[in-house]
């Protein structure tokens, strides 16, 4: 009887330790990524100028004529292209012809608009 209780307690402790170790590893991975690119992550200077060419709320995309992009995860020369947006609220109040400042980052391997400042 005592042996059985002891085994249950020991197993529970091992599971808890593994979960704790996994969450620690995730935290350390994220810290490593941030440490590799401190300037790009923290600064507003990653914003790129763009002009809105089209907006599709159903598709959650925006077509932008954009300047050179140098974000933490995306670099590309000026061009006109369509991006998915991370959150549909980003394109709620913009329309064709608006001048905007925006940020693009890789989300699941796809350059995605993660921030967008609409004109006042
Ligand atoms: Cu582009």
pLDDT of residue 118: 82
pLDDT, average across residues 6-27: 47
C-alpha 67 – ligand 1 centre gap (Å): 8
Interatomic CA distance for residues 55 and 63, integer angstroms: 6
C-alpha 62 – ligand 1 centre gap (Å): 12
- Surrounding ion ligand 1 within 5 Å at CB are 76, 79, 81
C-alpha 58 – ligand 1 centre gap (Å): 21
Both 68 and 111 in one domain: the answer is yes
pLDDT bracket for residue 5 (50, 70, 90) = low
Domain count within the chain? 2
CATH code where residue 88 lies: 2.40.50.320
Both 105 and 71 in one domain: the answer is yes
Tens digits of per-residue pLDDT, 88-103?
A: 999 999 999 999 999 9
C-alpha 36 – ligand 1 centre gap (Å): 24
Residue scoring higher pLDDT (108 or 28): 108
Query: What's the whole-model pTM score?
Result: 0.63
pLDDT of residue 76: 96
Both 31 and 83 in one domain: the answer is no
Residue scoring higher pLDDT (66 or 10): 66
Both 61 and 24 in one domain: the answer is no
Name the residue range of residue 18's domain. Answer: 2-36
Both 32 and 49 in one domain: the answer is no
For residue 32, give Cα distances in angstroms to 25, 44, 56, 90.
11, 21, 36, 28
Both 61 and 9 in one domain: the answer is no
Enumerate residues 6+ apart whose C-beta is below 8 A from 85. 60, 61, 62, 91, 112, 113, 116
């Amino acid at each position: 009887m005592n042996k059985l209780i002891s085994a249950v307690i020991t197993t529970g402790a091992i599971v808890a330790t593994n979960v704790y170790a996994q969450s620690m590893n995730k935290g350390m991975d994220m810290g490593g990524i941030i440490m590799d690119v401190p300037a790009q992550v923290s600064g507003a200077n990653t914003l790129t100028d763009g002009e809105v060419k089209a907006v599709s709320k159903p598709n959650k995309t925006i077509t932008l004529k954009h300047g050179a992009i140098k974000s933490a995860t995306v670099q590309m020369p000026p061009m006109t292209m369509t991006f998915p947006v991370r959150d549909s609220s980003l394109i709620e109040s913009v329309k064709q012809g608006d001048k905007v400042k925006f940020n693009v980052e890789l989300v699941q391997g796809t350059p995605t608009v993660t921030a967008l400042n609409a004109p006042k």
